[in-house]
Each structure stands twice: as C-alpha cells, then as structure tokens.
Structure 1
C-alpha cells in the first residue's frame, strides 16, 4: 500500500521583520548577559520558527545580518559604504551570537550575505586582488570564529554571484546560495559545489546542466508535488532535500515546508 515518506528539510535563511519596541524590550530583559540587541533579536527570531516546525537542518540569519558583519569589520566608513582603512575583524559579538544560537540547538548553520552583497566599495587598497583577499580573508576569520563557538557552517546569500568569492570561500562548511539563479548562475555554482539549491521552475534546466558536473545533493526550494516527482525521477531520495528561504512575514512558512516535503512510495 502506498505511503508518504518525508524528505529531509533544510533552511537556507530567514528575513524576519523588525520588532516593535515592547517586544524587543521584553526579549532583551530575558537575555541579560549576552549581546542582547536588535540584531541578536532578529537572529533568534529567524531561528525559532524553524525549530518549532521541526526543520531537519535549521539555519539562523539571512541578508539582514549584514549589519552585524559591518559592525565586526574595522576600516569601514559605513555612512559612505566604503573601506577607508585596512580590513580587520573584531569578532567578540559573533561569539555572543553563536552562543545565543547554539543554546537553542547544536551545530545550527548561520546565513550571511556574501561579501559582494555587503555593498562596500574599496577606497583604500586600490588593487582588486588585494581588496578581494582582504574581504574574503575577513570572512574566513568570522566564519571560523563562529564555527569554533559551535555554529555548524555558513550559507552565503547573493543574487549577484562573484566567482572570485565562490572560489575563495566555497567548501564543505560554506554553501553559496542564490535565491533566484539563472542558468549561468547555476553553472557557476555547480563548478564549485557538489550540492545545489534550485526552485521548481528551474529543475529541468538544472538537471540538464548537471550532466557536466558532479552534483550529489539537490536542495529543492519550496518544492511542490510535481517538483518532487520530477527530481525523484532523476535522483535517489537520499540525494534530495526540501529547502526553504523565508522572506515573508508568516508563522506558517516552515510548517508548510515540512508538510509538503513528502513523496509517495
């Protein structure tokens, strides 16, 4: 008799809204002793619905976390979005954020904007190679600091992919994610990653592209029944994950993802 089998689920980030003052104040009063500020609140708020829904591999953070990253980087003029000095890292607050996240669940991943998505331009180094080395080096330090504090790995989000960043940072613990990739984006990601995240509408194109690469894991974003049926006609179930990236104000987003992440056997 046919039965529904659940797929593994994975979060790739959440973009929570800003809280009202009373909610923030109440949250801060409950989290004394850590860096209890607006960014920490949003980090916690991004994770809580994923845990409540039972996401297999949760991920705190999202593009909103750019404010925290800028806070940790010295040598910036944030008002002008420029680097005006040597890029260095003050990572103390990242340790605090990591403790906050891992107190909810061990080995949770964290989503950052990719370096390019910070929107910072160079007014100090005057050399492209030095600038990229400085920024990617700072990212390595920040991500290593958080992993040492218990974070499992990082998702780097950006719709405008940069190959130099991907080649410098992609790895087992660092996954580049484009929410709306085109074919060229998918090909670039497949060049450096053995797993790929793609929506239902791009699955056909992605499968065709994958013939030239070694893709062993498919993260299907917000999968519907047709998308699941299609990907399982090309891959084994243990190679398929239902992925989510929540950009809407909805307490049901992650629950709906879990409920829809099933196939018939």
Structure 2
C-alpha cells in the first residue's frame, strides 16, 4: 500500500508522515509532492493507492489534481487535507469522488481513522469477498475459544491438557494459549482450577459432604493438595469457608 502526501508546505508533509500509524495500517511506502503537477508525475511513476492532498498549492492545486485523477479514472482514493472548512470545496471534492477530508491542524486520531477507513473502502472495492472473510474470521476465532471454555466447564473433573484441546479443536497449542488468555484474562490451567474452586464452594455449602468427598467430586484424588490449593486460591481453608458460608445462611 502506497500513500502520496501532496502539500506545498514541507513541515505539513513531515508532520503527516510522523503522525500516521503507517506500519499498523499496512502502508509500505510514503511518497511526497509539493503541488498537483509533481503529484501527477508521482502517480504515473509509483501508482499509489491513496492520495492525501492540500487544496491551495502553486502551479496546480488540489482540486485540479482531484479532477485529473477523476478524469483519468485512476483507481485511487483521495482525501483532502485542508484548513478551509468550506462547503464549496467539499461539494467539488464529492463531485470528484474524494473519499473524505481532514481539517488542519491535523489531529493524529482523525488522520489515522480516516486512513484506516479509506484503506478498508479501497480493499472492499478491490475484493469484497476478502473483506467479508476479514470480518468473519475474528468471529470464528471467538466462537472457537468459547467452545474451548465450554469444554473445560464440562470436563473439569479431570485434567484437561492443552494438547487435548489442540487435538480436539484442530488448532495449535500456542494459538489456544494466546487466544484463551486474551478472551478470559487467564491461562487455560488457571481457568480450570478456578472452575473447580467454584464447584468446590457450591459443594461446601452442604455440611453433609465431607471435605475429601468435595475434593474427589471436583477431580482431586489427594484431599490434602485440594485443601492447600483451595486456601491459596480462595484465601481460607475449606473448613473456614464452610463456616463462613453457614453463618450467612
């Protein structure tokens, strides 16, 4: 993705280059021109996908440049960068199919949002199927991680390993580990432990269930280990928790 910045003031061009999050936006090359005539030469030579242009410039202004791009039927998205919030300019810009405009002094957030929107528009026109896939993919990823979470909820009685999840859902261990932590704020083993502790709290509310039975029912054969882990996670021993829970009844 190439972007051409057209402005007769060098400090404005430099400022835009500094403010843009170009790597994040996938822009690999930034081109510059001091007026519309130089811009046309750059367009012919480098074929940028996006042109950011000022309006008032010597030799050839921004509106003439927009008209040239429009008449030439170039597959270029144009954005006006101007200090003139004037309806007449905006109407002409719309006539020449300009995508958007940004007012000077340039706000970094406005600049990056506008570029991002313009890139998305460009990609959609080039290949609408890819845009649909780009939108579908994150939803599929979230759904997969939600299914992993449900699987843990259903199989908490035994140690659910990362490898087991990877084999079952046909995705890599590294991917599961990273995405699960992003979605739930903890890694898979910690989540499994916390599910077990929540089940333990429910069981401890019944005084007829022995502590070692609680441990067995949530997947721990060693009730001493369970007691130690419960205190570490909950802050009190199972017996102390049971007494506290009973006092609130």
Q: Same fold (TM over 0.5)?
A: no
Quick check: which one's strand share is greater?
1
Question: Could you state the TM-score of these two structures normalised by the residue count of structure 1?
Answer: 0.28
Quick check: which one's helix share is greater?
2
Question: Could you state the TM-score of these two structures normalised by the residue count of structure 2?
Answer: 0.29
- More contact order relative to length (CA 8 Å, sep ≥ 6): 1
